[in-house]
Structure 1
Amino acid sequence: MDKRVFFLMIVSFVIGMVELIISGILDLIAEDLHISLGQAGHLITIFSLIFAVASPILLMMTAKIERKKLTLISLLVFLFGNITTVFAANYSILFTGRIITAISGALLIILCLVMAPSLVEPKYRGRAIGIVSMGVSGSLVLGVPLGLFLGNIYGWRAPFVLITLLTVLSIIGVYYLMDKIDPKPAVPLRIQLATLKSQKVSFAHATTFLYMTGHTVLYAYLKPYIQTTTGMESSWIGVVYFLFGIAAVCGGGIGGTMADILGARRTIIIAIIGLGVVLLTLPFTTPVLALFLIGLMIWGMLSWLISPAMQSYLIETSPETSEIQQSLSNSSLHFGIAFGAVVGGIVIERASIIQTPTIGGVFIILSLLTAGLSIRSRVVSLDQKQKIAQ
């Protein structure tokens, strides 16, 4: 495996940390800037929405720019956004900093995902994507406890100081370690958009959205769910999140390896069935703590196992528009996270938090349906896409 792929994993981890690292220190931000907790929460919402929408748009706008150069420019913008965040004197400046980091971060994550498979032989493509996915998943699940730890000791700006320093190191690393990577030949926008009319592609994106929705319905409210069903003390919940995070990071690597060995299609189906079984049976394991923790770690692994397999599947399905498909898949993932949090909140308000795993399992079953429809649909050739676009 090309060592540069592991470097891209580190870069993706640094970028991904910014999204959720703030959630553990919202109260500290609210107190320091004299704003409500709800206003502080908007800093997460705006980031996630921009992150989901911006990546495909920016990828198309920058399609002709050499990839190393584009990565360096994006990292410099990302650095500026984090510096703005560190020195934010009020809410408006902090909000602006979040917008800047979201826009640049969205492009950087997808650049890491599309560059990684181009650095290795086709037979290692899934593993390369899986390694980068380990960085993304690791940042999303480990960012919260890391932000909480640094924020409580040194103040809410400390996590962003760390990210700023890591970004500087990433810029140096990209400049000296990465070779120039020419962009793929540009495919007209109308043809790229025409691929979404293909059931094989559209159902694949729907699968990612539904899968992550089902996962997030419970994960977004995991702490109160654990406290309600197991009576676990708050001091131990941080350990649970850490175990879940380790499992999720491993899931990205395992998913990439499985996609290379078993094939992307089989890996996707295995991940969906496995996650559905875990979520639907998890409520029955809460009386036995050891069994519950085992189920939790299997869930953590499966939650990110599908991502590299789906990326590989999309590359196989539409190789000439693979970059935009990977970007749209990343957007589907983040929209699923946002929608799952909303659905979970509705379940808690109108039913009970105990029902969140079951509702999450329903979305996983729906994702199995869309995955099957995608796999059974025929591949649309480039000539056919051109006809559809006309």
Structure 2
Amino acid sequence: MNFRVYMLAIAAFVVGMVELIVGGILNLIAEDLNISVSSAGQFITIFSVTFAISGPILVNLTAKLERKKLYLYMLAVFLISNVMVALTSSYAAIVAARALAAMSGSVIVVLSVSMAAAMVPESHKGRAIGIIYMGISGSLVLGVPVGMMIGNAFGWRAPFIVIAVLTLLSMGGVALFTKRTAPSPVVPLRRQLASLKDSKIISAQLIGLLLLTGHLTLYGYLQPFVDATFQISPQMMSAVYFLFGIAAVLGGGAGGWISDRLGTKRAILGITASFSVSMFLVLVTSQTAFWLFLPFMMLWSGLSWSIAPAMQTYLLQLAPDHAETQFSLNSSMTHLGIAAGSIIGGAVMDHGSVSDNPWVGGLIASLAFGMALFSFSRRTKPAAEREMAAAAAK
């Protein structure tokens, strides 16, 4: 595999880390800025919402720019935004910086995928794209424990300084080793959204949104939940997040095996149902002993990423002629789910107790099972009918 692909994957990993990195240091941020933990949690929300909305728009607006130059511009904006977070104490300024990081990051992720695919022969495009997505998914689950470890040792601003340094190194690597890449034709935004008129497709996209919403209702506030329940040390909390991350990565790999063995639809139904149940088991075992809680927490973590292979395959089956569009929309749905879960989780904490977050998240996740049943029951539109809808959207 072309080493430049791995370099782009590292850049995508750095971008992905920023989204959830605050999840494990919410208490440190809240204390330093003199705000509530739920208010600090909105730093995740603003990033996720901005990422989901701005990605398709900015990619279309920058369609005519040479891709390497655009990549470096976006990395520079990303670098500045993280330096802003590290240096300011203003809540409003941090919110603005997080939005700026999300806008630039959304373009970087898309460019990483398209440039990686352009670097390799046709027979290796799938592997190249897979490597980029491994970097992204790995960052989402490992960003929190890394942020916790650095934040607890050197203060909550330190992780953002580390991110800025890594971004600077990524800029150097891209500038020195990647070639100029001509822009690819971009599907107009209206045409991308036209597929959402198909009830089978929109309900399929909502599966991931609901699952991630339920997941982040607890995961976005896992640190205060575990701390309130078991009152463990910061070092042990870092270990909890590392175990969570390891389980999530293993779950992603197991999800592909499950999908191949059971078939796409059975895998989606089985995983969504099991995921919802696992969140209730996390709540039950949190009332017992820490050693009993950990394996069920890891089960919940593994299930959270295990649905991705089955979902991507299902979307490909639904619209093979617009696969990239569906993957892009699925990414937006994922980030909207992250944002919605952060908002709901914060509201649950403000109006009740963090101990309520698991069952609220479990109920929301259970709706994903119902949405899957609904999607499977809808008629699949033939390609010609989809083309007519896309042409009407031009």
Report the TM range for the smaller structure's normalisation.
0.7 to 0.9
Determine if the alignment matches structure 1 residue 51 to structure 2 residue 51.
yes
2:300 matched residue in structure 1: 299
CA 1:269–1:8 in structure 2 vs 1: closer, same or farther (change >3 Å)?
farther
Give the Cα separation in 2 of the matches to 1:263 and 1:113: 27
Provide the C-alpha distance between the structure 1 equivalents of 2:202 and 2:339, rounded to a whole number of angstroms: 19
Question: How far apart are residue 350 of structure 1 and its match?
Answer: 5.5
How far did residue 343 of structure 1 move? 2.9
**What's 1:369 paired with?**
370
Q: Aligned pairs, how many? A: 387
Deviations 1:146-165 (A, max 9, x none): 33333344344422221122
Structure 2, unpaired ranges of 5+: none
CA drift of 1:73 comes to 2.8
Partner in structure 1 of residue 11 of structure 2 = 11
Letter paired with 1:97: A
Q: How large is the Cα RMSD of the aligned pairs? A: 3.6
Following superposition, the deviation at residue 206 of structure 1 comes to 0.7
C-alpha distance in 2 between matches for 1:64 and 1:322: 22
1:329 aligns with 2:333: no
The Cα shift of 1:194 comes to: 1.2
CA distance in 2, matches of 1:228, 1:7: 40
C-alpha spacing 1:121/1:180, structure 2 compared with 1 (3 Å): same
Shift of 1:371: 2.3
Q: What amino acid sits opposite 2:302 in the alignment? A: M
SS across alignment from 1:233: coil
Contact persistence 1:211–1:363 (CA under 8 A)? yes
Greater CA drift, 298-307 or 140-149: 140-149
Does the C-alpha gap of structure 1 residues 100 and 184 become closer, same or farther in structure 2, counting only changes over 3 Å?
A: same
Q: Measure how far apart 1:68 and its partner are.
A: 4.0
In structure 1, what is the equivalent of residue 393 of structure 2? 389
Q: Which amino acid aligns with 1:50?
A: T
Distance 1:318 1:114 in 2: 20
Deviation at 1:212, TM superposition (A): 0.5
> Which residue identity lines up with residue 303 of structure 1 in the other structure?
S
TM-score (norm 2): 0.81
Q: CA offset at residue 297 of structure 1?
A: 1.1
Contact between 1:268 and 1:306, CA under 8 Å: does it hold in 2?
Answer: yes
Partner of 1:79: 79
CA distance in 2, matches of 1:262, 1:179: 42
Q: Give the direction of change, closer, same or farther, for the CA distance of 1:225–1:25 in structure 2 (3 Å limit).
A: closer
Map 1:1-390 onto structure 2 (within 5 A): 4-25=4-25, 36-37=35-36, 43-88=43-88, 93-113=93-113, 125=126, 131-178=131-178, 183-227=183-227, 231=230, 233-235=232-234, 236-255=236-255, 264-286=264-286, 287=288, 289-348=290-349, 353-377=354-378, 378-381=380-383, 382-386=386-390, 388-389=392-393
Unaligned 5+ segments in structure 1 are none
* Structure 1 pair 93–154 and aligned structure 2 pair: CA distance change class (3 A): same
Structure 1 letter corresponding to 2:344: V
**Please, what TM-score do these two structures have when normalized by structure 1?**
0.82
Structure 2 contact 42–343 (Cα < 8 Å) conserved:
no
Give me the whole-angstrom Cα distance separating, in 2, the residues matched to 1:122 and 1:275.
35
Structure 1 SS opposite 2:307? helix
Describe the shift of the 1:338–1:194 C-alpha distance in structure 2 as closer, same or farther (beyond 3 A). same
CA contact (8 A) 1:131 1:252 kept: no
1:101 partner letter: A
Residues 79 and 30 (structure 1), Cα distance of their counterparts in 2 relative to 1, 3 Å cut:
same
Q: Match for 1:369: what amino acid?
A: G
C-alpha displacement of 1:58: 1.5
Cα distance in structure 2, aligned partners of 1:160 and 1:244: 22
Q: Is the 8 A contact 2:149 2:238 kept in 1?
A: no
> Take 1:285 and 1:167, find their aligned partners in 2: how far apart are those partners?
40
SS at match of 2:14: helix
Residues 244, 29 of structure 1: alpha-carbon distance in 2 compared, 3 angstrom cutoff:
closer
Q: Is the 8 A contact 1:124 1:260 kept in 2?
A: no
Separation of aligned partners in 2, 1:256 and 1:49? 28
Letter in 2 for 1:322: A
1:105–1:186 CA distance, 2 compared to 1 (3 A): closer
Whether the 8 Å contact between 1:5 and 1:116 is mirrored in structure 2 is yes
Contact kept? 1:47, 1:99, Cα under 8 Å? yes
Aligned CA distance change for structure 1 residues 178 and 86 (closer, same or farther; 3 Å): same
Q: Summarize the Cα distance change of 1:352–1:122 in structure 2 as closer, same or farther, 3 Å threshold.
A: farther
The structural deviation recorded for 1:198 is 1.2
- 2-side partners of 1:47 and 1:329: how far apart? 17
Secondary structure (helix, strand or coil) at the match of 2:296 reads helix
User: Are residues 139 and 270 of structure 1, via their aligned partners in 2, closer, same or farther at CA, if it must alter by over 3 Å?
Assistant: same
The offset of 1:311, in angstroms, is 3.5
Asked whether the 8 Å contact 1:17–1:143 carries over to 2, the reply is yes
CA deviations on 1:313-355 (whole Å, 9 max, x unpaired) are 4344334543343232222112212222333344455665444
Secondary structure of 2:167 counterpart: helix
- The amino acid of 1:323's aligned partner reads E
Is residue 23–residue 144 contact of structure 1 (8 Å, CA) maintained in 2?
yes
Q: Deviation at 1:312?
A: 4.2
**Structure 1 residue 303: Cα displacement:** 0.9
